[in-house]
């Protein structure tokens, strides 16, 4: 490929490598690079802008612009053509730059003399680290070869910046992965943890950027591609037990692995001077940039497949990354872009904390974290691009804050907080076997939520009186195919064995919305949280539900059990579900199987409509569990996964508390046991209010039982109710302020 000033990109890269190999500081290296690129590109100007912070670029080196503007000129992402390159993560090729929309005149650089401009992002794995720019006085439309050559140089600059080749004075030239960082995310599980980073998908470090022997590099690539295809074929074979939809997805995955155009693009980059690893990273950066711009979720998912294949290929080429079976380091805090429940379970309960760039408070990874009482912060973007394995890290799950490589002052304050929490746990352990009886003699039942066998030991250690909610969907979500009936029956039997004489309430399969099975056809809905999910799916497609009911009955082995149906919105849905269970019981009797000695059939009240069901519903239902997480989002019409609206509505709003009181009154009038199950049940102040509203049973994660019990045992419900009623009568929107003042004055 000819370049205007002569030579090809491979020659340019070799000279670039020679320049970088020369002893010198970061500034000298950058100065050499801009001079070399300007000479080879035949341009009067070459400039390198590096990212100073998440949204600011700084001019760090230039050939052709005024030298006094270096480290003085700064641009916001999106400001001027250079800022637009950074914001879009895409090149701008302008023959007449001053006439381009977004052009910004910067007199301190002297760039008004130059007409044409070509700018490309300096990016690594989709993260923009800076911008590389060339300019000419005369109007010039740079060729595709020019653009490609500059992109290759930018890729090398990105790799060398990651390796710390451009360290110097100023924020833009600080050593990578060394400064303290504060990430403000969202709390998915309370608690605090101090430890070291364990990256779920560690960054690949590429030390050799320029290829000496392109043919040898292509042979390395070919061998790695062959192994990748074998690995994908093995994955496809392992999914033969799954449904057709899963097979279709895996076939599409294999199609990407066998894509000739993908391989051709990688080989072209190698021919132009890059090593195989850098060629893969260059293509991966382009893929991630496209992912960010594609609105269609299906296309985004296909691009994600290609991104995942790139990660696998990089691990094969470099031999880096975490292998299955690797031990989890002591005090490990898992850091990932996102993670599924099966992957999380592979790490085990030894993790001290979890930090995700994505995720949601209702995800099953978050449910597992809550069950394990592991602090978890989500939406901590872009921590995976900044953290390295074994970096010191602090996780504040109460505030949704993460400190990466914290200062001594921050670490000291954090240790004080952990010490206070440890002292509190000792206090809670002392009342573990005591009842949650208030000062005025009201006893509130305390039960725990679970979904895995590993949760069951918490029945004893937490002081829970039983399992108020066993989520059965986790066993479906962690598999590549529908679990077999006998497998489920064996699991349910082990759960009841572990619970001993304490009652377990099994909730039937609750999927849909954000809980999507990999082997089930994904149905696109405009509002899945209010769509075809949970009991609606079970009644419309009864095969799986019938199988699960049979498994539950067989797992009981004649013991008493509770079965609860999720997301009941009207009386008829409960009757239909109950009829299915009775039919399963009759079928089991005919087969000669043991039937539970007692079966209590309940419903989750998660929609406001069910609170106003006919009296017959409350008479027929053996028990009701208020599903607080869903009920609150439907009561306020505020998506619980949307932080913009989720956090603006208070659980202690007088309207919501009055609604809880209404439900308690209707249930009590028919002697129908009712409990509150959800995140808010595990918050001491909220739990106190629910008890004051008439609820006498609460179900929560095991770690919350101690704090809630401690709060109830030192409170007088009648006095708390009076504070709430006074606040309601005053026209207050929330009772929180008045209640907190009352608690403060009593302590």
HEC-encoded secondary structure of 565-602: EEEECCHHHHHHHHHHHHHHHHHHHHCCCCCCCCEEEE
pLDDT for the residue numbered 591: 94
> Tokens at residue 98, please?
């001053």
Q: 114-131: per-residue pLDDT in tens?
A: 899 999 999 887 789 999
| C-alpha distances in Å from residue 293, one per residue of 89, 121, 289, 299, 301 | 10, 15, 7, 11, 13
Nearest to 153 by CA among 273, 280, 318: 273
- Return the C-alpha torsion angle 566, 570, 571, 577, nearest 10: -40
φ, ψ at 572 (rounded to 5°)? -60, -35
DSSP letter at 551 equals H
Kindly give, in sequence order, each residue whose CB lies less than 8 Å from that of residue 544, ignoring residues fewer than 6 positions away.
482, 509, 538
pLDDT > 90 fraction of the chain, expressed in percent and rounded: 48
In the predicted model, is pLDDT for residue 390 greater than 50?
Answer: yes
**Strand, helix or coil at 713?**
helix
pLDDT for the residue numbered 712: 96
Strand partners, 601: 563
Kindly give, in sequence order, each residue whose CB lies less than 8 Å from that of residue 324, ignoring residues fewer than 6 positions away.
none
- Contact between 535 and 564 (Cβ < 8 Å): no
| C-alpha distances in Å from residue 240, one per residue of 234, 235, 481, 518, 656 | 10, 9, 9, 13, 48
In the predicted model, is pLDDT for residue 62 greater than 60?
Answer: yes
Across residues 248-254, what is the average pLDDT? 60
Counting Cα atoms < 13 Å in the Cβ hemisphere of 681 gives 30
pLDDT for the residue numbered 7: 38
pLDDT for the residue numbered 242: 45
| C-alpha distances in Å from residue 652, one per residue of 143, 737, 747 | 63, 10, 21
Q: 609-627: per-residue pLDDT in tens?
A: 999 999 999 999 999 999 9
Which of 227-241, 348-362, 439-453 has the lowest average pLDDT?
227-241
Length, in residues, of the chain: 747
- Contact between 544 and 538 (Cβ < 8 Å): yes
**Strand, helix or coil at 479?**
coil
**Strand, helix or coil at 668?**
helix
pLDDT for the residue numbered 353: 94
In the predicted model, is pLDDT for residue 21 greater than 80?
Answer: no
pLDDT for the residue numbered 246: 46
φ, ψ at 602 (rounded to 5°)? -125, 180
3-state secondary structure 312-337: HHHHHHHCCCCCCCCCCCCCEEEEEC
pLDDT for the residue numbered 514: 58
φ, ψ at 437 (rounded to 5°)? -105, 125
In the predicted model, is pLDDT for residue 262 greater than 90?
Answer: no
Which of 45-54, 67-76, 309-318, 728-737 has the lowest average pLDDT?
309-318
- Contact between 111 and 66 (Cβ < 8 Å): no
Alpha helices in 59-143 (DSSP H): 80-88
In the predicted model, is pLDDT for residue 4 greater than 70?
Answer: no
pLDDT for the residue numbered 520: 63
Nearest to 316 by CA among 427, 386, 222: 222
pLDDT for the residue numbered 79: 92
Enclosing H/E stretch for 424: helix 408-429
Across residues 243-257, what is the average pLDDT? 58
Which of 391-395, 444-448, 477-481, 650-654 has the lowest average pLDDT?
477-481
- Domains, the chain: 5-163 (3.30.450.40), 181-202+326-411 (3.50.30.10), 214-318 (1.10.274.10), 437-522+529-745 (3.20.20.60)
Estimate to the nearest angstrom the gap between the alpha carbon of 668 and the chain centroid.
Answer: 40
| C-alpha distances in Å from residue 20, one per residue of 34, 39, 48, 699 | 12, 16, 15, 62
In the predicted model, is pLDDT for residue 237 greater than 70?
Answer: no
pLDDT for the residue numbered 710: 94
Confidence bin at 160 (pLDDT 50/70/90):
confident
**Strand, helix or coil at 123?**
strand
Which of 276-285, 433-442, 521-530 has the lowest average pLDDT?
521-530
- The alpha-carbon radius of gyration of the chain (Å, integer) is 30
For residues 217 and 211, give the distance between their C-alpha atoms in angstroms, rounded to a whole number. 7
Q: 549-559: per-residue pLDDT in tens?
A: 999 999 999 99
Estimate to the nearest angstrom the gap between the alpha carbon of 646 and the chain centroid.
Answer: 17
**Strand, helix or coil at 357?**
coil
Highest mean pLDDT among 441-455, 593-607, 634-648: 593-607
Kindly give, in sequence order, each residue whose CB lies less than 8 Å from that of residue 561, ignoring residues fewer than 6 positions away.
496, 503, 504, 506, 552, 596, 598, 599, 600
pLDDT for the residue numbered 303: 57
For residues 254 and 272, give the distance between their C-alpha atoms in angstroms, rounded to a whole number. 28
Kindly give, in sequence order, each residue whose CB lies less than 8 Å from that of residue 260, ignoring residues fewer than 6 positions away.
none
- Chain position carrying tokens 């380091």: 329
For residues 506 and 504, give the distance between their C-alpha atoms in angstroms, rounded to a whole number. 6
> Tokens at residue 314, please?
């990089």
Across residues 355-364, what is the average pLDDT? 79
For residues 84 and 348, give the distance between their C-alpha atoms in angstroms, rounded to a whole number. 44
Counting Cα atoms < 13 Å in the Cβ hemisphere of 310 gives 26
Predicted TM-score (pTM) of the model is 0.65
Sheet (strand 45-53) strand order: 74-76, 56-63, 45-53, 127-136, 116-124, 92-94
Nearest to 393 by CA among 595, 194, 660, 116: 194
Q: 128-141: per-residue pLDDT in tens?
A: 999 999 999 999 99
Which of 279-283, 345-349, 539-543 has the lowest average pLDDT?
345-349
pLDDT for the residue numbered 292: 61
For residues 633 and 607, give the distance between their C-alpha atoms in angstroms, rounded to a whole number. 9
pLDDT for the residue numbered 211: 79
pLDDT for the residue numbered 241: 45
DSSP letter at 30 equals H
φ, ψ at 599 (rounded to 5°)? -125, 120
Counting Cα atoms < 13 Å in the Cβ hemisphere of 250 gives 21
In the predicted model, is pLDDT for residue 643 greater than 90?
Answer: no
Kindly give, in sequence order, each residue whose CB lies less than 8 Å from that of residue 731, ignoring residues fewer than 6 positions away.
none
> Tokens at residue 307, please?
């991104």
- Contact between 670 and 617 (Cβ < 8 Å): no
Q: 161-192: per-residue pLDDT in tens?
A: 877 778 877 777 777 778 888 999 988 888 88
Across residues 42-63, what is the average pLDDT? 92
Across residues 352-366, what is the average pLDDT? 82
Ramachandran sector of residue 594 (left: φ over 0; alpha: ψ -120 to 50; beta: rest): beta
Kindly give, in sequence order, each residue whose CB lies less than 8 Å from that of residue 327, ignoring residues fewer than 6 positions away.
none
Nearest to 227 by CA among 151, 336, 318, 347: 318
Ramachandran sector of residue 78 (left: φ over 0; alpha: ψ -120 to 50; beta: rest): left
Confidence bin at 391 (pLDDT 50/70/90):
very high
pLDDT for the residue numbered 15: 78
Kindly give, in sequence order, each residue whose CB lies less than 8 Å from that of residue 350, ignoring residues fewer than 6 positions away.
328, 332
In the predicted model, is pLDDT for residue 667 greater than 90?
Answer: yes
For residues 465 and 51, give the distance between their C-alpha atoms in angstroms, rounded to a whole number. 56
> Tokens at residue 36, please?
């070399």
Mean pLDDT of the chain: 85
- Contact between 599 and 560 (Cβ < 8 Å): yes
Strand partners, 58: 50, 74
């Amino acid at each position: 490929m000819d370049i205007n000033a002569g030579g090809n990109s491979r020659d340019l890269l070799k000279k670039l490598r020679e320049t970088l190999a020369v002893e010198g500081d970061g500034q000298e290296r950058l100065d050499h690079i801009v001079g070399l690129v300007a000479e080879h590109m035949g341009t009067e100007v070459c400039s390198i802008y590096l990212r100073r912070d998440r949204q600011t670029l700084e001019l760090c080196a230039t050939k052709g612009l005024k030298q006094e503007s270096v480290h003085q000129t700064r641009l916001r992402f999106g400001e001027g053509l250079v800022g637009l390159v950074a914001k879009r993560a895409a090149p701008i090729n302008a023959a007449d730059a001053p006439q381009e929309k977004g052009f910004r005149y910067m007199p301190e650089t002297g760039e008004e003399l130059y007409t044409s401009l070509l700018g490309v992002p300096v990016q690594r794995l989709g993260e923009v680290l800076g911008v590389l720019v060339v300019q000419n006085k005369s109007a010039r439309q740079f060729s595709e070869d020019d653009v490609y050559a500059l992109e290759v140089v930018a890729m090398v600059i990105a790799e060398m910046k990651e390796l710390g080749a451009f360290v110097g004075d100023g924020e833009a030239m600080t050593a990578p992965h060394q400064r303290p960082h504060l990430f403000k995310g969202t709390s998915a599980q309370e608690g605090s943890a101090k430890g070291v980073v364990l990256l779920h998908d560690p960054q690949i470090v590429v030390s050799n950027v320029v290829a000496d022997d392109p043919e040898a590099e292509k042979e390395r690539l070919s061998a790695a591609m062959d192994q990748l295809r074998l690995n994908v074929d093995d994955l496809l074979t392992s999914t033969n037990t799954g449904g057709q939809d899963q097979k279709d997805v895996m076939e599409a995955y294999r199609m990407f692995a066998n894509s000739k155009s993908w391989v051709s693009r990688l080989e072209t980059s190698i021919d132009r001077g890059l090593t195989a690893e850098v060629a893969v990273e260059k293509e991966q950066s382009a893929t991630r940039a496209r992912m960010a711009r594609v609105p269609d979720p299906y296309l985004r998912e296909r691009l994600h497949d290609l991104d995942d294949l790139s990660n696998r290929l990089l691990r094969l080429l470099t031999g880096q990354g975490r292998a299955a079976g690797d031990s989890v380091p002591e005090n490990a805090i898992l850091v990932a872009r996102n993670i599924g429940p099966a992957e999380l379970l592979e790490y085990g309960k030894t993790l001290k904390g979890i930090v995700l760039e994505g995720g949601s408070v209702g995800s099953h990874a978050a449910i597992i974290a809550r069950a394990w009482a592991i602090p978890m912060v989500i939406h901590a973007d872009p921590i995976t691009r900044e953290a390295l394995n074994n970096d010191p890290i602090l996780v504040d799950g109460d505030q949704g804050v993460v400190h990466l490589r914290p200062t001594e002052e921050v670490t000291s304050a954090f240790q004080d907080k952990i010490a206070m929490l440890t002292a509190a746990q000792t206090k809670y352990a002392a009342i573990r076997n005591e009842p949650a009886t208030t000062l005025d003699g009201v006893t509130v039942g305390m039960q725990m939520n679970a979904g895995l066998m590993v949760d069951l030991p918490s029945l004893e250690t937490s002081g829970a009186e039983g399992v108020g909610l066993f989520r059965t969907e986790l066993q479906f979500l962690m598999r590549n195919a529908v679990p077999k009936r006998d497998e489920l029956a064996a699991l349910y039997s082990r759960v009841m064995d572990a619970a001993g004489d304490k009652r377990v309430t099994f909730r039937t399969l609750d999927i849909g919305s954000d809980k999507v099975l990999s082997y089930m056809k994904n149905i696109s809905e405009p509002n899945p949280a209010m769509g075809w999910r949970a009991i609606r799916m079970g009644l419309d497609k009864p095969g799986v539900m019938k199988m699960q009911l049979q498994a539950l009955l067989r797992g009981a082995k004649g013991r008493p059990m509770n079965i609860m149906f999720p997301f009941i919105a009207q009386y008829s849905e409960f009757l239909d579900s109950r009829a299915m269970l009775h039919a399963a019981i009759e079928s089991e009797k005919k087969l000669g199987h043991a039937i539970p000695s007692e079966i209590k059939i309940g419903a989750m009240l998660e929609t406001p409509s069910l609170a106003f069901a006919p009296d017959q519903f409350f008479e027929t239902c053996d028990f009701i569990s208020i599903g607080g997480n869903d009920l609150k989002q439907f009561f306020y019409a505020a998506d619980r996964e949307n932080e913009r609206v989720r956090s603006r509505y208070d659980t202690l709003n007088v309207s919501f508390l009055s609604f809880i009181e209404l439900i308690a009154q209707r249930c009590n009038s028919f002697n129908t046991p009712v409990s509150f199950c959800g995140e808010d049940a595990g918050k001491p102040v909220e739990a106190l209010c629910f008890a004051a509203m008439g609820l006498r049973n609460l179900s929560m994660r095991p770690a919350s039982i101690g704090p809630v019990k401690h709060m109830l045992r030192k409170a007088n419900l009648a006095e708390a109710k009076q504070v709430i009623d006074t606040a309601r009568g005053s026209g207050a929107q929330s009772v929180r302020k008045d209640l907190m003042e009352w608690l403060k004055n009593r302590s």
